[in-house]
Amino acid sequence: MANEFTSILTGGLSDNTVKTMYDFAFGLVYYEVPTYRAWVDKRPAEVNGPGQSVVLNKQDWLGDAAVTAMKTPLNEESDVDSTALPATVPVTLTVNEYGGAVTRSKKLRYFSFAEIDRVAARSVAQVAARVLDSLVQDVLVTGSNVIRASARSTTGAVTSTDYLVASDFRKAVTKLRNSNVPDWGGYYAAGVHPNVIHDLREETGSGSWRVPSEYGTDQGNIWRGEFGEFEGLRFVQNNLTRTADDGDSSETVYRTFVQGREAVAERVVEEPNTVISPVTDKLMRFRTIGWYGITGFALYRDESLVRLESASSMTDI
């Protein structure tokens, strides 16, 4: 008679002894992106108390009238008239509590094949970063300096073919330079949605996208998420960059944020951090992992921020 084999292929004993194996770690959905908080560089100094709000005072420079007056030659026998320093401009910065948590049961820990606490901690940290990024963008969208693709006069007039081009970014840089906005090492920052970057790189013709500057061996100079420098801007992609369906015929309008130093101010009372709560239920079964912080953001120098608005060819793809 023919040989009978006990193997994986023919079953038999192996049907119950060979089981599907699992990786004992969850593969999380990749959601780690750069956040706009990385460019927040203005914070209060010498605050006189722990109040919920703090007023920052911006000191302006002496203006053109003072320059003109001081160009007049001095009289040998007369003293000069004093010029008053410009009034300060107050900016109110209010902090609030933010946070969230997840709770797992003792039974889940005993019967799950994965390290639930580690998964929970990573998930909480990820959502905390998203919350802070959204809070900063809530401030960025309030800036008054707006450049729209195709020179549209309002956000509601942006159509499906109004894409940003290189000249729009050059205009933003020129506007910042004309306002004497300080930069980071000679460059301003541009936070851009990947769909907008796609359209910019598709542009052809003179003055359009070129190979971005490279940094050689000094990789430490590269910002997280950055993919190049172009026209005095260092571009960083963030797929969570703000959009809204508020264009012509409810077209999706993308916000692009071009900024210099001190565009946004932040006050931190307690840096957002992971919190492991004590087990306090009667049967000691529930473990909570969360995040908590006390912070606040405000638009500090409106002249340091230019918001670009456009559609994208990638919206429905």
Convert the pLDDT of each residue in 200-250 to its tens digit.
Answer: 988 877 778 765 555 555 555 555 555 678 889 999 999 999 999 999 999
- pLDDT the model gives residue 159: 97
Q: What is the mean pLDDT of the chain?
A: 87
Report the CATH number of the 48-60+84-143+266-299 domain: 3.30.2400.10
* Res. 107 pLDDT band, cuts 50 70 90: confident
Residue 302 has pLDDT above 90, yes or no: yes
Asked if residue 234 lies in contact with residue 166, where contact means CB atoms within 8 angstroms, the answer is no
- pLDDT the model gives residue 204: 77
Over the stretch 283-295, which tens digit does the pLDDT of each residue have?
999 989 889 999 9
| Mean of pLDDT values over 10-38 | 68
DSSP 3-state of 299: strand
| Mean of pLDDT values over 46-63 | 86
- pLDDT the model gives residue 157: 98
- Give the separation between CA 68 and CA 65, rounded to whole angstroms: 5
Of 176, 138, 191, residue with least CA distance to 301: 176
- Give the separation between CA 36 and CA 166, rounded to whole angstroms: 22
Residue limits of CATH 3.30.2400.10 in the chain: 48-60+84-143+266-299
| Top-ranked range on mean pLDDT: pick from 78-92, 129-143, 194-208 | 129-143
Handedness of CA 298, 299, 301, 306 (dihedral sign): positive
Asked if residue 186 lies in contact with residue 268, where contact means CB atoms within 8 angstroms, the answer is no
Helix (H) or strand (E) holding 258: strand 253-259
Show the tokens assigned to 162. Answer: 């109004």
Show the tokens assigned to 110. Answer: 């005993």
Handedness of CA 134, 139, 140, 144 (dihedral sign): positive
pTM of the predicted model as reported, rounded to 2 decimal places: 0.84
Bridge partners (DSSP) of residue 294 are 97, 270
Q: Phi and psi dihedrals of 254, rounded to 5?
A: -95, 135
